[in-house]
Chain A
Amino acid sequence: AQTVTQSQPEMSVQEAETVTLSCTYDTSENNYYLFWYKQPPSRQMILVIRQEAYKQQNATENRFSVNFQKAAKSFSLKISDSQLGDTAMYFCAFMKRGGSQGNLIFGKGTKLSVKP
């Protein structure tokens, strides 16, 4: 069974600074995806960034980037130039590629507060 661990329940960062959220996972699968989702107070789950396990290149989406270390089973999220709107819960998630088990396995989340 897969597990996802987020060891930082809460973090804070000053506006315009950079913050890194940690995520580790455990799996025996070789083909999978990793995601970071953002959940603001509205409770909508918003996809932030996606990484395919077979790709060595780290994914980037504007101010968001990941550090994907497959051997170490680590998948951290870096947010650059933090903005007040980045304040939210952030969930790391694992999904097997293809097949019939497409559901996500979530970590417990990290609550990020961006301070002015």
Chain B
Amino acid sequence: SAVISQKPSRDICQRGTSLTIQCQVDSQVTMMFWYRQQPGQSLTLIATANQGSEATYESGFVIDKFPISRPNLTFSTLTVSNMSPEDSSIYLCSVVTSGRRETQYFGPGTRLLVL
């Protein structure tokens, strides 16, 4: 398994500001992802955080709005830029453990409220 931490756990932000969310894993992993969960909804993939190269974004998500860094195999950040109330969501990072028992584990999430 993998132990994943996220900071902050929650935040309340003003419209137009930016927030950077950190994700730390207790072991080196190749694949790391960022998801968004809007209120009452399922999880939607924002992007794949690639170590040493630009993140791969899903349709509907762009780098200018959600810049991602992945400086090494245990850490990544997601920034939510120029926030609006529509960005109020839970943001979760996840990792895929490799080997025979490939499994995806999630961090505890960051609950964001934009006023």
Residue numbers of A with Cβ under 8 A of B are 33, 35, 37, 42-45, 47, 50, 91, 93, 95, 97-98, 100, 102-104, 106-109
Write the nearest CB–CB distance from A78 to chain B, whole angstroms: 20
Q: Which of B42, B45, B90, B103 has the most CB of A within 10 A?
A: B42
Asked if B13 lies at the interface with its beta carbon under 8 angstroms from chain A, I say no
The listed residue (B104, B108, B111) touching A35 by CB distance below 8 A is B104
Query: Which A-chain residue is minimally distant from B9 (CB atoms)?
Result: A43
Q: Check B42–A103 contact: CB distance below 8 A.
A: no
Residues of B within 8 A of A100 (CB): 48
Please state if B43 and A95 are interface contacts (CB–CB under 8 Å): no
Given contacts A50-B101, A95-B102, A103-B45, 13 further A-B contacts (CB under 8 A): A44-B106, A45-B92, A45-B106, A47-B103, A93-B104, A95-B104, A98-B102, A100-B48, A102-B102, A102-B104, A104-B33, A104-B94, A104-B104
> In the complex the two chains form, what is the Cα distance from A47 to B94 in whole Å?
12
A14 vs chain B, min Cβ distance (A)? 26
Chain B contact residue count (CB 8 A cutoff)? 21
Kindly list chain A residues whose C-beta atoms are within 8 Å of the C-beta of B31.
102
Question: Hey, which chain B residues are within 8 Å of A109, CB to CB?
Answer: 42
Bound-state Cα–Cα, A97 to B96, Å:
11
26 contacts between A and B (CB under 8 A): A33-B102, A33-B103, A37-B106, A42-B108, A43-B37, A43-B108, A44-B106, A45-B106, A47-B103, A47-B104, A50-B101, A91-B42, A97-B102, A98-B102, A100-B48, A102-B33, A102-B102, A102-B104, A103-B33, A103-B48, A104-B43, A104-B94, A104-B104, A106-B42, A106-B43, A108-B42
